[in-house]
Structure 1
Amino acid sequence: MEKNTIELVSELTNIASPTGNTFEIIAHIKKLVAKWGYDAKVNHKGSLIITVKGQNHNEQRFVTAHVDTLGAMVRAVKPDGRLKLDLIGGFRFNAIEGEYCQIHTTNGKIYSGTILMHQTSVHVYSDAGTADRNQTNMEVRVDEKVQNDIETKALGIQVGDFISFDPRTEITASGFIKSRHLDDKVSVAILLQFLKKVSTEQIQLPHTTHFFISNNEEIGYGGNSNISDKVVDYLAVDMGAMGDDQQTDEYTVSICVKDASGPYHYEFRKELTALCEKNQIPYQLDIYPFYGSDASAAMKAGADVRHGLVGAGIEASHAYERTHQDSIDATERLIEAYLLSTIKSDNR
């Protein structure tokens, strides 16, 4: 039985894919789209591109979502057998305190553990509640009978092993999905569902479109070396940031007008909002002050394209995140309306 979008999000969040170790999920997606008749290509960096030919091959689109997530690496094996962490991606140690995790060893074995403060026990440490949550104090307690670094290393655990976080994905009766790594697996699921629809309904797109599953976004770069010189539009589908002074919510699609890199393409943004107005898609315009996307990275790399950014609203980004079916639906509707429309050449 085919999964709906929110169920597909759950499937994706349960495949570990911290930046730098995305091979399993890329292979999973490649196999999935092959069932729908797509010949996806894996590039040297390990990302995935699916090109769908359209009526207009001279003015093309590039649409991306990233499958890599926050994570960590083993920085050191401590004398007591626990692990020191080195973070992958832009988040804070307090966001993962108490979280279950997995240690992925180079020899293929996976061990479970828990991320804790060294000074966790209030019965032993007077500073259990006040000590800094930082690299010195946070550690992984490995779920094996180890009491020193020699015993831990004997398991095959070493510096550079990847650490992934338990997503704890849950879909509620009220339509929410809460999980780690909704950034950006919600968007990946949305693009995959659109690709499935194009295949099963034999839809011809107005423009040749490259669907790029990026695997390095959390460290600042993605599909910047894979853009054809025929690409006119570069659309990143990523999370909408929520918080104080933000317009983004969990029930609409968020259209970014500016992030830390600067404004997004004004005419492209107006085209996206016009599609929302025409199709009665609920949306919010917003600024993400501490944020960068694969689209903004492409601009820094010198791509000559119109760049845009849309996505579902994600609460508590880079921690234990949440969004609602309504926001997913609105984002799906905008993506479909955009990809089935014609590029307005007079906007360029």
Structure 2
Amino acid sequence: MERTYAEYAARQAMELLAIDSPTGFTARAADWVQRAFEELGYTARRTAKGGVLVDLGGRGEGLLLEAHADTLGGMVAEVKNSGRLRLTPLGGMRAENGEAENVRVYTRGGRVLEGTFQLCNASIHVNGQYGDTKRTFDSCEVVLDEDVKSAEETRTLGVEVGDVVCFEPRTRLTASGYIKSRFLDDKLSVGILLGLAKYLKDTGTVPQRHVYLHVTVYEEVGHGGAANVPQGVTEAISVDMGCVGEGLQCTERQVSICAKDSGGPYSYEVVGKLIDAARRTGADYAVDVYPYYGSDVEATLSAGHDLRHGLIGAGVYASHGYERSHVDGVWNTLKVLAGYLEADGVR
């Protein structure tokens, strides 16, 4: 497989990263995903939950590849007397990782207001306890870029409890091939699935499995992959971020194959076949155990579906923060996926 498919995947991911889509607020992102697969010539449909299900064709037993387009974010929990906003997190968003980031508040009336997520009393020259204060969603707040000084004035702008707050992703692709952004988890993997779909279409390859893709929209709260498994599927693989950190082998330039996470071991058979695919295609890979992690495919199993499961992904550093990966990690992930499908012409 040529590296150009990894570069295409990275570009597609960057387009998707520009669309705000914290879990529960994903319609625009799902629209983009559906159109992107349809433009490649595939049939894509929306599920009742809001995800996108794609049929890549093929022959033999069914294989489901899962990635997710929902991200972390926030929701207005209180319009404070000062006119500022207290948030509750969507998914595993951490207050420490969002501090001093620009945000967008989406009101029910259709307005989009800008602001910044700051520590309460954020001026170091005023707050003598600045460095000692634990960052939480109670000790931090959204300061709107509007002239408001009371809850009434903020509500006049249309802001109310339940409005969604999106953090700026700050996406960059460096000259050296590093991809930096919030929410690479898991929009980078959606780009990877688009790269795989384009590769199959361009080469006219018919996979040795009947392959389906499910881009879910509730992974960050644990039930994204719980439904919509097509008939005949016997295996499901989550294509999600690979963990990079102390005690693990994977780097951002590799594909990570997960043997076990906090939900338990993945299918020994599937993990073995993923390793074989990596070796066969010359992919640079690492096998790791993730200590604090859960995936879409575990939600699929928990929902009662009888199938074998696995998890792979491009290595991502600083997960749930300002994340970093590399085009080489994307490329190695694509090699493993193509090899797993036993696609003709894989080198």
TM-score normalised per structure 1: 0.94
Please, which of 144, 147, 162 is the counterpart of residue 145 of structure 1? 147
Amino acid at match of 2:225: G
What is the aligned-residue RMSD (CA, Å)? 1.4
**1:173 offset after TM fit, Å?**
1.0
For residues 179-218 of structure 1, give each alpha carbon's deviation from its aligned partner in whole angstroms, at most 9, with x where no partner exists: 0000001110010111122233332222211100010000
Asked if 1:174 is matched to 2:176, the reply is yes
AA aligned opposite 2:274: L
- Report the counterpart of residue 22 of structure 2 in structure 1: 18
- The aligned residue for residue 49 of structure 2 is 45
Match of 1:279? 281
Check conservation: 2:226, 2:302, Cα contact below 8 A: no
- Distance in 1 of aligned mates of 2:186 and 2:216: 10
Equivalent residue for 2:267? Answer: 265
Rounded Cα–Cα distance in structure 2 between residues aligned with 1:325 and 1:35 = 23
| Count of matched residue pairs | 339
Q: CA deviation at 1:339?
A: 2.2
- Give unmatched runs, 5+ long, in structure 1: 343-348
The gaps in structure 2 that reach 5 residues or longer are none
Name the structure 2 match of 1:315: 317
Match of 2:128 in 1: 126
Give SS of 2:329's match: helix
Which stretch shifts more, 117-126 or 42-51?
A: 117-126
Deviates more, 1:296-305 or 1:110-119: 296-305
Structure 1 residue 295: deviation in Å?
1.0
Task: Give the Cα separation in 2 of the matches to 1:237 and 1:183.
Answer: 10
Aligned partners of 1:200 and 1:245: how far apart in 2? 39
**Which residue identity does 1:317 align to in structure 2?**
S
Give the alignment partner of residue 65 of structure 1, picking from 51, 58, 67. Answer: 67
Alignment of 1:1-348 (within 5 A): 4-56=8-60, 59-340=61-342
- When the two structures are superposed, what TM-score results if normalisation uses the length of structure 2? 0.95
Q: Measure the CA separation in 2 of the matches of 1:132 and 1:54.
A: 53
Question: 200-209 or 296-305, which moves further after superposition?
Answer: 200-209
Code of the aligned partner of 2:135: R
Deviation at 1:341, TM superposition (A): 5.3
Whole-angstrom CA distance in 1 between matches of 2:54 and 2:215: 8
8 Å CA contact 1:54–1:205 kept in 2: the answer is: yes
Report the more deviating stretch, 118-127 or 210-219: 118-127
In 1, distance between residues paired with 2:294 and 2:288? 14
What stretches of structure 1 move > 6 A for 4+ residues in a row? none
Once the two structures are superposed, what CA deviation does each residue of 1:155-192 show, in whole Å capped at 9, x if it has no partner? 11110110111010111111101100000011100101
Q: Distance in 2 between matches of 1:227 and 1:247?
A: 32
SS for the counterpart of 1:205 is: coil
Cα distance in 2 for residues equivalent to 1:318 and 1:117: 19
Query: Counterpart of 2:314 in 1: which secondary structure?
Result: strand
Identity fraction in percent: 39
* SS at 1:281 equivalent: coil
* Residue aligned with 2:274, SS: helix
Which stretch shows the higher mean deviation, 247-256 or 220-229? 220-229
SS at match of 1:19: coil
